[in-house]
Amino acid sequence: MLSNPPPWPDGAACAAAVTFDVDSDSILHLEHPDDGHRRVGAQSWLRYDQVAVPRIVELFARLGLRQTFFVPSWCAERYPGVVETIAAGGHEVAAHGYLHELAHTLEPEREHELIRRSADILERVAGRRPRGWRGPLYTFSDRTAGFLAEEGYAYHSGLMGDDVPYVLSTFAGDIVELPVDWANDDWPQFANTMDLDWRTPTRAPERGYEVFEAELDAALAYGGLWIAVWHPFVSGRPSRLRRLEGLIERARDRGAWFAPLEEIAAHVDGLRRSGRWSPRVDRLPYDGAPVRDPHG
Ligand SMILES: [Zn+2]
C-alpha cells in the first residue's frame, strides 16, 4: 500500500505519537482581537488546558511515555506553569506560532521574526530550544520551510503530503516533514464553539476514537506514521482521555513505536545520512508566483 516506508527502530511495525497543541485562548484573541478578552465564556473552555495538561502528563508517566506538546509562545509567556509541567514530565516542547498566527497571512519579515521569537521564548520557559514547529491551523507559507531551516528547526509536523516522513528542501537547508491528516485531529470529532464558528454534533468518545484507531490500524498494517493532533481542552476531558490508555496499550502490543516527534525526525535523518533509506524530497515553494492559466 505504501511505496517506500522507512525501516523503524528495532523492526517496529509503525511510528506513532499522540501530540497535543496547547493553544489555550490564543486562538480566541487571534480571531477576535478587539473583544476576545470580553468573551470569558469561551476563554473558560480554552483555559481548561490548565486542568487537562497535568492530567495528560500524569497518564503518560504511568505509561512510561514521552511525547510532544506544541505551544504557541504567547501561551508559554502567559501560562509558564503549564509548560514547566510538560517539561518536568520529560516531554518535548515544540513551537506553534506566537499567538497562533496563520502563516500565509503574514508579511515574510513578520513570519520570520515570529519563528525566531518563538524559539527564544520557549527556550527561556522550557529550558531547551525547540526542535520542531507545527504551523497554526496547519498553515504554512511559501517561505515557512526556509525560515524554519534558517532558524535551526529540525522538523515540521503539519503538512499532509504523504503517509511517511519526507524532506523539505529549501535555500537554507533541509528539514524533515512528519505529515499529519485531519482524520487524526480531534477538532472535527469533538469541538463545538460558536465563538470560533465551529459546530460539531456532540458524539460519544468511541465514535471519534473509531476514526483515530482506523488510521492507526492502517499505519500498523503498512509501516506508516500515525500522529494524533489533539488539544488538551478537547481530548483531555475525562470521558475522552480515559480511552487513550487502551489505544496505546493495544498499539504497543502490535508493535507500534511511540516516541516524541524530535526522536522520529532524528531517526529519519539518521537513516538518510547513513544511506539506509532514501525519503522523498520536495523542493519548496512549489510555485514561485501565482498560478495562471498558461493558455489564456
Ligand atoms: Zn493550534
Reduce the secondary structure of 92-112 to three states and give it as a string: EEEECCCCCCCHHHCCHHHHH
The C-alpha cell at 249 is 496499550
Q: What was the pLDDT predicted at 59? A: 98
Radius of gyration of the chain (CA): 19
Q: What was the pLDDT predicted at 17? A: 98
Ligand 1 centroid, distance to 22 Cα (angstroms): 7
Ligand 1 centroid, distance to 295 Cα (angstroms): 40
The model's pTM is: 0.97
* d(C-alpha 282, C-alpha 96), whole Å: 22
Quote helix, strand, coil % in the chain, to nearest 5.
45, 15, 40
**Which of 153-161's residues contact partners 24+ apart within 8 Å by CB, and which partners?**
153/95, 153/115, 153/119, 154/262, 154/265, 154/266, 154/269, 155/131, 155/261, 155/262, 155/265, 156/132, 157/19, 157/68, 157/94, 157/132, 157/133, 157/227, 157/261, 158/133, 158/134, 161/282
Ligand 1 centroid, distance to 20 Cα (angstroms): 9
Ligand 1 centroid, distance to 277 Cα (angstroms): 32
Q: What was the pLDDT predicted at 295? A: 94
Ligand 1 centroid, distance to 106 Cα (angstroms): 16
Q: What was the pLDDT predicted at 202? A: 84
* d(C-alpha 150, C-alpha 147), whole Å: 5
Strand, coil or helix: what is 156? strand
Ligand 1 centroid, distance to 163 Cα (angstroms): 21
Ligand 1 centroid, distance to 260 Cα (angstroms): 18
Ligand 1 centroid, distance to 167 Cα (angstroms): 23
Ligand 1 centroid, distance to 68 Cα (angstroms): 13
- Report residue 135 CA to chain centroid gap: 8
Q: Kindly give the confidence (pLDDT) of every residue in the chain, 296 residues in length, as a single tens digit, with 9 standing for 90 and above.
A: 999 999 999 999 999 999 999 999 999 999 999 999 999 999 999 999 999 999 999 999 999 999 999 999 999 999 999 999 999 999 999 999 999 999 999 999 999 999 999 999 999 999 999 999 999 999 999 999 999 999 999 999 999 999 999 999 999 999 999 999 999 999 999 999 999 999 988 899 999 999 999 999 999 999 999 999 999 999 999 999 999 999 999 999 999 999 999 999 999 999 999 999 999 999 999 998 999 998 98
Strand, coil or helix: what is 30? helix
**What sign does the CA torsion over 228, 207, 247, 48 have?**
positive
Q: What was the pLDDT predicted at 125? A: 98
How many H-runs (helices) and E-runs (strands) does the chain carry? 13, 10
Element (H, E) at 244: helix 244-253
Ligand 1 centroid, distance to 100 Cα (angstroms): 6
What angle in degrees, to the nearest 10, is found between the helix axes of 244-253 and 205-222?
20
Q: What was the pLDDT predicted at 200? A: 86
Ligand 1 centroid, distance to 21 Cα (angstroms): 5
Ligand 1 centroid, distance to 247 Cα (angstroms): 23
What angle in degrees, to the nearest 10, is found between the helix axes of 108-126 and 80-88?
60
CB 132 within 8 A of CB 261: yes
Q: Is the peptide bond before 285 cis (omega within 30 degrees of 0)?
A: yes
Ligand 1 centroid, distance to 285 Cα (angstroms): 23
Ligand 1 centroid, distance to 189 Cα (angstroms): 15
